[in-house]
Amino acid sequence: MGGQSGCISTLWTGKKRQSGRHFVPNLTIGAPVVSSLREHTEAVLDCHLMVTNPEDYVGPLKDAGADIFTFHYEATEHAEKLCREIKDAGMKVGIALKPATEPDEALHALIDAGLVDMMLVLTVEPGFGGRKFQSAVMPKVAALRKKYPQLDVEVDGGVGPATIDEAARAGANVIVAGTAIFNAPDPSKVISHLRTSVENAA
């Protein structure tokens, strides 16, 4: 979505990494799957880590070929150090916020310092696909877009044809969608719909 910033509108079918360690109740994929995917695609591998100690995964995901390492702001006491480690490893930094987490002064300082490439605003409680989009989170998206026109702002959770316009109007330029795409009779049609909505909101 160009929006105020001219950001390139894109729709990444990012790889979700919901490895356990108690941040979310379910285990899904890990670095070995990312590494296998890397061998077959040039696509952006945007790895959203829903893990308790994200610091432990910088090396494994770097070695696996991840492009974006997105960790949960709630899952570490050392966000600045982790941002620097991710960048030193040659990956982009994403910071994810659960619906109830608002950006605080420390997070704004990280973004202002240029340590954050993307903010992931979850519109569902993390862990499982197919949950209902929480419109109440949109003001957080809009505030981030207003304050940081150049920043990639990603929305994830319950995004589909019925909710994409709301997310795009709020300022999201990176969209994560699972159920809406994988359950669709024609997934490519849904992807085009999502991409068009983001581009039109620019």
Ligand X SMILES: O=C(CO)[C@@H](O)[C@H](O)COP(=O)(O)O
Between 106 and 182, name the residue whose CB sits nearer to ligand X.
182
Q: Give the chain as a DSSP string.
A: --TTTTPPP----PPEE---TTSSS-----HHHHHHHHTT--S--EEEE--S-GGGGHHHHHHHT-SEEEEEGGG-S-HHHHHHHHHHTT-EEEEEE-TTPPP-HHHHHHHHTT--SEEEEESS-TT-SSPPP-GGGHHHHHHHHHH-TTSEEEEESS-STTTHHHHHHHT--EEE-SHHHHTSSSHHHHHHHHHHHHHHT-
86/176 with CB nearer ligand X: 176
Residue 5, both tokens: 């910033």
Q: How far is the CB of 122 from ligand X (least distance, A)?
A: 6
CB nearer ligand X, residue 18 or residue 19: 18
Residues that bind ligand X (CB under 6 A): 16, 18, 50, 124, 126-127, 129-131, 156-159, 176-180
Least spacing, CB of residue 49 vs ligand X, in Å: 11
Least Å distance between CB 28 and ligand X? 8
Measured from the CB atom, the residue of 51 and 107 that comes closer to ligand X is 51
Of the pair 49, 82, the CB lying nearest ligand X is at: 49
Closest CB 32 distance from ligand X, rounded Å: 19
Closer to ligand X by Cβ: residue 112 or 182: 182
Minimum CB–partner distance for residue 188 and ligand X (Å): 16
Three-state SS annotation for 52-79: CCHHHHHHHHHHHCCCEEEEEHHHCCCH
- Rounded alpha-carbon distances, angstroms, from residue 44 to 17, 36, 144: 14, 14, 23
- Nearest distance from C-beta of residue 4 to ligand X, angstroms: 26
